[in-house]
A and B are shown apart, each in its own frame.
Chain A
C-alpha cells in the first residue's frame, strides 16, 4: 500500500465512531482484538510454517491473570497488565519448549493438547477461575484518567493498541530475524547448515507470538469485562486460524482482513441468519476454491492482472 491509501485508511478508522452507532463501534473494537490475535498467530503459521491450534491459551491466560489479580488480589490495571503479559509469556516459553520437539502435525497436536489442558484447568479450578460461571465484575482500565466505558473511547484505545501491535509485528517480519524465520519455514535443513539455530528461531517466534496473543487477551477481557473458559476453547483457536488462512497467511494484512470477516459473520450476519456458522463455512469454501492463498494475496493478484491488461 502506498502512503495515500494509508492516510485514507487512517482517516476512515478515526472518523468511524463519529458517524457510526455504538453497535458498530463495538463491532470495530472486537475486530481489533481479533486482528491482533490473528496477526500474532500468523507469525507462527504464516511466517514460521508452524500451524498451532492452541493460540487461544494466550488470550485466556492473560485474561484470567488480569481478572484474578483484580478480583482476588485487588491489583490495579497498571500493575496487573504487565504481570499478565509477563506471566503468559513465561508459560509460552515452557509450552514452546515442549511443542517444538515436533513440527507439522506433531506440533499442531501438542499445541492442541496443551491448550486443552489450560482450558480444562479453567473449567475445573473453580476456586481461582470460578469454573463455568466465569469471572464477572471486572472493570476497564482508565489510562491517563480517560474513561473507556464509552464505546468510542474503547474503540480508540483498541485502535491505538492494534496499530502499535501490527507495527511491531511488521517490524519483526521485515527484520533479519524475520527473514531467517521465513528461511526456516522454507528450508530448515539449509538454514541450519548456514549457521542459523532453527530451533531457537522457532522458539523465540513462538514466545513473541504468544506475547501479542496475550496483548489481544488483555483487550479481550477489558472489552467484555467478563471471562469464561470458552475464551480458551479450541473453537476460539480455530477461529483465529480460520482468519489467518482466509485472509492470507504469511502476509501482514491478510489476518486482519480474515479476522474482520470472522467477527462480522459471528456478530453481524448472525443477527439476520440463524445458521451463520453454515454461511461462514460457505464463505471459507468459496475462499479456498477461488483464492486458495487467501483473500489479500488473491485480490492483489487479480488487481495486478487487471491493471496490466
Chain B
C-alpha cells in the first residue's frame, strides 16, 4: 500500500468481527477494509455468512466481538437507524417493501427516514409535494417513474427488485449494501439491474453480495470470498478467480 491510500479513511473498516449462533460461528474473525468509491463483491457458498455480515454492518445483529468503523467512526454498538443517519443504506435479499402502498410512497418513507419531517404529526403527508416529486425522480433513475402510483403488490418481481435499490438510492447513501440484487431475475432483467448498479456514482461505496458470479464479477474491482464465516481469499478479480482456494470452496468442480 502506498502512503496516499493510508491517508484516506476507509468507508468501512471491519476488525476481527465475530458472531456465533448457538456456538456455531456465522462470522468468524472477519476483517476487511473497503475504500471510498470502491465496488466490493462478497461471494461465498450458501451459509458462508454473507448476509450475517451485512446484518452486523447495519446493526440488525450485534457482534459478539470486533469492531465496525463507518468512515472512521466506531458504530458496532449503534442501533440500525443511527447507522442509517451516518450514510449507510441497504437492500434485502428477500424483498422487504411496503406491499399495500404505492411505489412513490415507499420511496417517500425512505426519504422521510433521514428527514426531520418524519416527526411532524399534524401536516398531511400528501401536502409535501416536493417529497413525492423527489420520489418520482428517484423512481425515474431506476426506470419506474411510470409506475409511481401503482401499488407494490401490482408490479412484477423484477420491478420490486428495482424499488429495493431505489429505496436505498433515495437516501443518497455514502455506503450502499446490496444483498443479492440480481436474485430471481430473468437474464434480461439481470442486464438491466447490472447496468443500473454500474451507473451508481463513485461518491457511493458499494458492497455487493452475489451468488451468481457471471454478472457480478463485472461490477466489482475487488472481491472477498467468505467460507464458513471466514475470509479465505481477497484480492482483485483476476487474483481471486485464479486462486485455487476460490475454486475449491466456491466454484467447485461441478
Contacts and interface: CB of A to CB of B under 8 A. Distances in A.
Pair from one complex: yes
Interface of A: 171-172, 174-180, 182-183, 186-187, 189-198, 208
Contacts of B122: 171-172, 175
B228 to A, nearest CB: 26
B3 interface: no
Contact of B81 (A171, A176, A187, A196): A196
Given A176-B117, A177-B118, A187-B98, A194 B110 contact: yes
B121 A193 contact: no
B224 interface: no
Interface string B94-123: 001111100001001110111101111111
B84 A187 contact: no
Contacts of A196: 81, 109, 112-113, 118
Contacts of A189: 60, 80, 96
A180 B123 CA distance: 13
12 contacts: A171-B121, A174-B125, A176-B115, A176-B118, A176-B123, A179-B108, A180-B112, A189-B80, A190-B92, A195-B84, A196-B81, A197-B81
B167 interface: yes
Contacts of A190: 92, 96-98
A171 B120 CA distance: 10
Interface of B: 58-60, 79-81, 84-85, 89-90, 92, 96-100, 105, 108-110, 112-115, 117-126, 128, 167, 171
Centre residue among B58, B121, B167, B171 by max chain A CB count within 10 A: B121
The 5 closest A-B pairs by CB, nearest first: A195-B113, A194-B113, A195-B84, A192-B80, A177-B121
B113 A186 contact: no
Contacts, number: 95
A149 B188 CA distance: 74
A266 B125 CA distance: 38
Contacts of B85: 195
A178 B58 contact: no
A174 B122 CA distance: 8
A109 B124 CA distance: 34
B53 to A, nearest CB: 15
Nearest to B96: A190
B134 to A, nearest CB: 14
Contact of A192 (B84, B121, B123): B84
A182 B100 CA distance: 11
B142 to A, nearest CB: 17
A195 B124 CA distance: 20
Given A187-B97, A195-B84, 15 more contacts: A174-B125, A176-B118, A176-B119, A177-B120, A179-B109, A179-B112, A179-B125, A187-B98, A190-B98, A194-B109, A194-B110, A194-B171, A196-B109, A197-B79, A197-B81
Contact of A177 (B58, B60, B119): B119
B22 to A, nearest CB: 21
Contacts of A198: 81
Contacts of B114: 194-195
A160 to B, nearest CB: 20
Contact of A176 (B92, B128, B171): B128
B120 A175 contact: yes
Contacts of A187: 96-98
Contacts of A208: 121
Contact of B60 (A176, A183, A193): A193
A304 B92 CA distance: 36
Contacts of B92: 190
A172 B99 CA distance: 22
A48 to B, nearest CB: 13
A192 B124 CA distance: 22
Nearest to A181: B121
Given A186-B98, A196-B113, A178 B121 contact: yes
A174 B123 CA distance: 8
Contacts of B121: 171-172, 175, 177-178, 208
A175 B118 CA distance: 8
A111 B115 CA distance: 32
A197 B81 CA distance: 6
Centre residue among B59, B79, B81, B117 by max chain A CB count within 10 A: B81
A297 B17 CA distance: 49
Contacts of A195: 81, 84-85, 113-114, 171
A186 B100 contact: yes
A171 B121 CA distance: 7
A176 B120 CA distance: 6
Given A180-B109, A180-B118, A187-B96, A175 B80 contact: no
